[in-house]
A and B are shown apart, each in its own frame.
Chain A
Amino acid sequence: EAGVTQSPTHLIKTRGQQATLRCSPISGHTSVYWYQQALGLGLQFLLWYDEGEERNRGNFPPRFSGRQFPNYSSELNVNALELEDSALYLCASSLGRLRSPLHFGNGTRLTVT
């Protein structure tokens, strides 16, 4: 069974640009989550999508947005990049049922210069 896949692995952008990160969930999983892990910090919740709808949003500014497609894959967009957006962005998927664990991809390392 293929795991959660994220692309690209690394992304280098300049301050003010936009970044698009992509995620394909495990087959059969309907929920997709995005987390940010900045250097030295834990995982901070960004967004949760289930069945194409945004279910919850973390304490991040509106320039962080995303969507989930009919095939349950997801995209995270970060507009007007700032230096502090440099982090590892992790996508996870789950079955969408109560108490089903999240399964993570290996992340996209975003560097803003």
Chain B
Amino acid sequence: EPEVTQTPSHQVTQMGQEVILRCVPISNHLYFYWYRQILGQKVEFLVSFYNNEISEKSEIFDDQFSVERPDGSNFTLKIRSTKLEDSAMYFCASSEFLPLTIPDYGYTFGSGTRLTVV
């Protein structure tokens, strides 16, 4: 079964440093997402991306965050200057269609990148 691949699985960074989290979505998928989960809390939406632009973003996704699809396969999340509160598990997800258009269809999530800011 096709998978969404995320690298690295763990990353430790110093406060104020830039980090780039990488994702390889399923090859024929067109819609891409980032979610995050602070330890012990529920999963929260960050941003959705379609046709090389952001289609929706949450309040969490401020100017410190950016996303990019630099080539035909990778989808990246950049945090420009990390803060302690950015420590979380970050999940990438993709879908071939919008679930709104095909109700019995959903998202495929990657295994996550655990980011620790020290």
Q: Do A and B come from one complex?
A: no
